[in-house]
Structure formats: structure tokens, C-alpha cells
């Protein structure tokens, strides 16, 4: 990955860009909350830093960002190591690392060792692997729901949600936080997130502590907030156009 923040002037310029991006996104969240009578403090902004350099994550941490999202294990591992090493010296509050990409079974244990939260549990075979890798403090997990039945985008269909939630909740070192979904392409995100909200209410009947909903990205965060999202996964709207991998 390229690192545009390698010089002092470059870091200052990049920091200014991130300040503007964060400001715009936080203003959108505040407006969306005001429209439906919610408090912005009830939401967690997860800044999706996949494919961006570790220097961006460090700048975000300096700007008060606590939650960052990564989709690939190698990036999560490298940035986790870089920021964990730097944080004490910089006096920063430790970051919460969110694994947001589809999980491969052969990488589930390693992901669980590094992440604080996993947003994409969509296969019961992942549950014991994540539990094995999780630390003593436990791993927060969202069950990912497919709102359009497209297996390529991850998630389980609605009828399989209860069983998978039961499996996560019953695992030794996993905590069922709630449900996660990505709005289907070409469909109204409001209607999609309303379905997710309804499913979340059904899950809470059996798991009262599973109150979280991970929904909403750069293009549809307002619709997610209106339908009860508690975690927003926003990348480009904060960080700008994603640089190519390499």
C-alpha cells in the first residue's frame, strides 16, 4: 500500500483531509439522528480503513477515532501490530479492531486473536473456530444476514438466523452482539434495513442482550440510522477515494 503521509507536510495535509471527512460524516450522523429522535452518542462509527495505510489509522486515532474496520487478515495483522506498538508511546486510547470482511474458516482463529469484534459470522462452522481463537475477555460477534439471498455477498438467510444466533450465544468465549447486513444492490436501503430491524427484534426475544445492529455505509448511513442501526461502517466518506492495493 502506498503511504501518502510519509513526510511532515504530507501528514499535515492528510490529517486536514481526515478532519474534514470525519466532520462531514459526524454531521450527517447528527442530522440523521435528529430526524428520528435519536442521540448520536448511541451510535458507534467504525471507520473502515481497509487498503489505507497504517499512517491513516494512526492519524484517525489521534483525532479521537476508537473503532476501525479491516476486511483482510494480513492488513489487520500488520496494522494491529503497528498501532499497538505505537499507542502507549503516543498516549492513545487503544483502538477497537473490527473484522468486517467475509471470514474464511482457515483464518477464523487468527482473526479472533486480533479482532475485538467480528461483523460477518455467517456459517455455524466458524463458531468453534472463533471461540478457540478468542481471548479471555471474549469476542463480540454479529451474525450477518443476507437480505437478498446473494451468497456472493455473505450472510445467512432469515430462516437460518435463529440457529446461528443460538450457536454464537452458546459458545464459550463469544458474545452475540446482534445482527449485521449490507443493503442489497439496486434496492431501497430503507426497506432492507427495516427487514434487518425486524429480524433484530425477533432475535432479542431469545437473546435480550443482542441489541446491536451493524448497518449503513457511506451511501446509506441515514437510512440505517432511521432503522435502528447502532454501528455504522463508513470508509470512503471519511477517507476519500480508496488507493489501490500494492
Taking only the tens place, the pLDDT of each residue in 151-208 is 778 999 999 999 999 999 999 999 999 999 999 988 899 999 999 999 999 999 999 9
Q: Is 138 left (phi over 0), alpha (psi -120 to 50) or beta?
A: left
Query: What's residue 42's pLDDT?
Result: 96
245 belongs to a structural domain: no
Query: What's residue 86's pLDDT?
Result: 65
Instruction: Find the CATH number of the domain harbouring 171.
Output: 3.20.20.10
Query: What's residue 150's pLDDT?
Result: 79
Q: What are the φ and ψ backbone dihedral angles of 230, each rounded to 5 degrees?
A: -110, -20
3 belongs to a structural domain: no
62 belongs to a structural domain: yes
244 belongs to a structural domain: no
Low-confidence stretches of the chain (pLDDT beneath 70): 1-6, 85-93, 242-246
| Long-range Cβ pairs for the range 167-172 (8 Å, 24+) | 167/124, 167/127, 168/121, 168/127, 168/141, 168/143, 169/207, 169/210, 171/127, 171/128, 171/130, 171/131, 172/131
CA atoms of 237 and 18, how far apart (whole Å): 10
Query: What's residue 235's pLDDT?
Result: 96
Total-model pTM:
0.93
144 belongs to a structural domain: yes
Query: What's residue 243's pLDDT?
Result: 59
CA atoms of 138 and 11, how far apart (whole Å): 35
Are the C-beta atoms of residues 231 and 212 closer than 8 Å to each other? Answer: yes
Query: What's residue 1's pLDDT?
Result: 39
Query: What's residue 101's pLDDT?
Result: 92
21 belongs to a structural domain: yes
Supply the range of the domain harboring residue 50: 8-239
1 belongs to a structural domain: no
Domain count, the chain: 1
Residues 6+ apart with CB under 8 A from 159: none
Amino acid at each position: 500500500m502506498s503511504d501518502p503521509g510519509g513526510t511532515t507536510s504530507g501528514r499535515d495535509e492528510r490529517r486536514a483531509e481526515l478532519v474534514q471527512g470525519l466532520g462531514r460524516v459526524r454531521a450527517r450522523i447528527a442530522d440523521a439522528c435528529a430526524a428520528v429522535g435519536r442521540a448520536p452518542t448511541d451510535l458507534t462509527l467504525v471507520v473502515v480503513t481497509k487498503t489505507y495505510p497504517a499512517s491513516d489509522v494512526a492519524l484517525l486515532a489521534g483525532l479521537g477515532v476508537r473503532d476501525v474496520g479491516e476486511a483482510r487478515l494480513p492488513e489487520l495483522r500488520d496494522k494491529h501490530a503497528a498501532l499497538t506498538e505505537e499507542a502507549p508511546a503516543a498516549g492513545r486510547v487503544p483502538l477497537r479492531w473490527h473484522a468486517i470482511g467475509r471470514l474464511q474458516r482457515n483464518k477464523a482463529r487468527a482473526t479472533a486473536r486480533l479482532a475485538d469484534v467480528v461483523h460477518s459470522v455467517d456459517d455455524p462452522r466458524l463458531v468453534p473456530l472463533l471461540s478457540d481463537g478468542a481471548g479471555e475477555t471474549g469476542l463480540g460477534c454479529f451474525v450477518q444476514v443476507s437480505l437478498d439471498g446473494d451468497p456472493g455477498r455473505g450472510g445467512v438467510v432469515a430462516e437460518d438466523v435463529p440457529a446461528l444466533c443460538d450457536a454464537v450465544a452458546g459458545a464459550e468465549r463469544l458474545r452475540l452482539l446482534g445482527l449485521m447486513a449490507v443493503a442489497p444492490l439496486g434496492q431501497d436501503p430503507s426497506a432492507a434495513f427495516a427487514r434487518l430491524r425486524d429480524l433484530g427484534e425477533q432475535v432479542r426475544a431469545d437473546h435480550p442482550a443482542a441489541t446491536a445492529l451493524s448497518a449503513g455505509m457511506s451511501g446509506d448511513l441515514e437510512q440505517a440510522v432511521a432503522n435502528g442501526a447502532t454501528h455504522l461502517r463508513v470508509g470512503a466518506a471519511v477517507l476519500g477515494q480508496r488507493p489501490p492495493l500494492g
